[in-house]
Amino acid sequence: MSDTAAPQSLYIDGKWVASSDGGTRTVTCPADGEVVDVVSEATAADTEKAIAAARRAFDEGSWSATPAAERGDLLLKVADAMAERKDEFARAEALDTGKRLVEAEGDMDDIMNCFRFFGKIADQHPGRLVDAGNPAVISQVVYEPVGVCGMITPWNFPLLQASWKIAPAIAAGCTFVFKPSELTPHTAILIMDVLDKLGLPAGVGNLVLGAGAEAGAPLSSHPDVDMVSFTGGLVTGKKIAEVASHTVKKVALELGGKNPNIVFADADFDAALDNALNAGFLDSGLVCSAGTRLIVQDTIRDRFVDELVRRAEGIVLGGPFDEKAESGPLISEEHRAKVTDYVKRGVEAGATLRCGGDWGGPELEKGCFYRPTVLDNCTLDNPAVIEEGFGPVITVESFSTEAEAVATANHTEYGLAGAVWTSDRGVAHRVSRALRHGTIWINDYHPYVPQAEWGGFKASGNGRELGHAGLEEYREAKHIYENTEPAVTGWFPEK
Ligand code: NAD
């Protein structure tokens, strides 16, 4: 980007443009506070322009009429183009988020898999015939694209969360306006560059960068947007659903989680311990499905928690390119202040701070680091157990019976994910079915595959991403009833 001219990082109607008022935002790396870049900051009017472009491109009809197999091919090409530029994508993600490069590289692999999955299923299940009970009738259900989609995404897995929306929207024949988090815009710019170079028709995909209340708001309020798909926090999600209700648009929400990680005494101790660290502290706990509620059987509780604390104290923090680092920073000072307050309130409510609860040593002071934290002796009414802290903080509760483990794990307004650790497969499957959460791991934590649906029960959201349901979110079912032998009905006989 030039230092003098306003950056042109909005992609509207097939062109890279500056914000209409010349506004910009400086993006910094949360690991060291260094400036990454200056990008355009869209106004609400810019977003309205992008919506108009997406509306025109959809209403013209040529994109939705493009054979689904061709749209699928485009997605496969996106994955190939990303593979060629993987290093560039991963470095951009690492600099914006501060996460370790190796984690960003893993995210890029997941993103390519997502594009490939939706590329392959784009032309599957085009519709079905149904039996109307009359041989003269051909009754078919076909699937149409929903239309213009607004997509709003968070900063923790910036391009990954976006790919779960962009890939199925393209597969379904929708057009879209995408607003990533204002804190992490760079992989959004890169993916639109890929789509532009691959010849996505003008107006089909649009990118606006900027703050939620300004650049994002029209995506939930504007009557020309048919669907808003949001991933982010519960408070914002509720606001978006409320505003969207005025135009009765389709709403898909992927919100937060307060995810139980249940460890029975008969589990493989070392694997359960290692994965408890991974569940809570991977990516600094900045994972919607992070296993932040450790619920451990009372007979192994003390030994398990002592070991967890010992191992958590040894986790090395550092920036994206620090090869010794095992975990990175939080996203901003503002976010670190929230995590600090969350831990403080947890301790005030009776939790025991076993480790962490501070910002780390002087070598970390330029970044937004927060030490892996364990809050022991937590009760169901402790705010640290109730609220999503969204940081590297594990709360510890214990149980004696299977029924108690299930009741404790379900005692949350959220329902995104959870895990059960046991060597008894009967227990594992009973508990898995009883948990009111959208993803359950048995003797594992975190893996997911694009073929399987992802989403939340209860306040963790509605709708599903990934899997076949992830494509259905972007399609409307339509029933076409054809009578091949038209006849008078006789309801209103001629008099
Ligand atoms: P956030 O809700 O603060 O922001 C998310 C996005 O919404 C950002 O792009 C923001 O600019 C935008 N936004 C804010 N106000 C808006 C408004 N009024 N209108 C339109 N857009 C608006 O969330 P965050 O802090 O960026 O992300 C962290 C949250 O995301 C956590 O709660 C986490 O659990 C959740 N998350 C959920 C999943 C999932 O799959 N369920 C995945 C990742 C993150």
CA–centroid distance, residue 13 to ligand 1 (Å) = 25
Query: What mean pLDDT comes out for the span 281-292?
Result: 97
- Choice from 181, 333, 454, 460 to test ligand 1 binding pocket (greatest atom count within 8 A of CB): 181
**Class of the CATH domain delimited by 10-255+460-480:** alpha beta
Question: Atom 19 (ligand 1): residue with closest C-alpha?
Answer: 217
Is pLDDT of 1 > 70? no
* Per-residue pLDDT at 369 exceeds 80: yes
Of residues 453 and 361, more confidently modeled: 453
Q: Mean pLDDT across the stretch 87-111? A: 98
Q: Give the ligand 1 atom nearest the CA of 181.
A: 9
Query: Ligand 1 center to residue 442 CA distance, Å?
Result: 28
- Tell me: pLDDT of 4 over 80: no
pLDDT at 303 over 60: yes
Q: Is 320 in the pocket of ligand 1 (CB under 6 A)?
A: no
Identical fold for domains 10-255+460-480 and 260-442, yes or no, is: no
Spot the catalytic one: 93, 182, 214, 254. Answer: 254
pLDDT surpassing 80 at residue 3:
no
pLDDT at 359: 87
Catalytic annotation present for 41: no
Residues of the chain above pLDDT 90, percent: 97
User: What mean pLDDT value characterizes the chain?
Assistant: 97
pLDDT digits (tens, 9 = 90+) for 171-227: 999 999 999 999 999 999 999 999 999 999 999 999 999 999 999 999 999 999 999
% residues pLDDT > 70 (the chain)? 99
Top CATH class of 260-442 equals alpha beta
Q: What is the pTM of this model?
A: 0.97
Using a 6 Å cutoff on CB, does residue 229 contact ligand 1?
no
Please state the atom number of ligand 1 nearest to the C-alpha of residue 210.
Answer: 11
- What secondary structure, in 3-state letters, does the chain show? CCCCCCCCCEEECCEEECCCCCCEEEEECCCCCCEEEEEECCCHHHHHHHHHHHHHHHHHCHHHHCCHHHHHHHHHHHHHHHHHCHHHHHHHHHHHHCCCHHHHHHHHHHHHHHHHHHHHHCCCCCEEEECCCCCCEEEEEEEEECCEEEEECCCCCHHHHHHHHHHHHHHHCCEEEEECCCCCCHHHHHHHHHHHHCCCCCCCEEECCCCHHHHHCHHHHCCCCCEEEEECCHHHHHHHHHHHHCCCCEEEEECCCCCEEEECCCCCHHHHHHHHHHHHHHHHHCCCCCCCEEEEECCCHHHHHHHHHHHHHCCCECCCCCCCCCECCCCCHHHHHHHHHHHHHHHHCCCEEEECCCCCCHHHCCCCCCCCEEEECCCCCCHHHHCCCCCCEEEEEEECCHHHHHHHHHCCCCCCEEEEECCCHHHHHHHHHHCCCCEEEECCCCCCCCCCCECCCHHHEECCECHHHHHHCCEEEEEEEEECCCCCCCCCCCC
So what's the pLDDT on residue 474?
98
Q: Would the CB of 150 count as within 6 Å of ligand 1?
A: no
**Ligand 1 in reach of 181 Cβ (< 6 A):** yes
Q: Domain coordinates of the chain in residue numbers?
A: 10-255+460-480, 260-442
Pocket test for ligand 1, best of 236, 240, 284 (most atoms within 8 A of CB): 236
Kindly state if the Cβ of 241 falls inside 6 Å of ligand 1.
no
Residues 151-180, mean pLDDT to the nearest whole number: 98
The residue whose CB lies within 8 Å of the most ligand 1 atoms, and thus the one to mutate among 25, 151, 152, 254, is 152
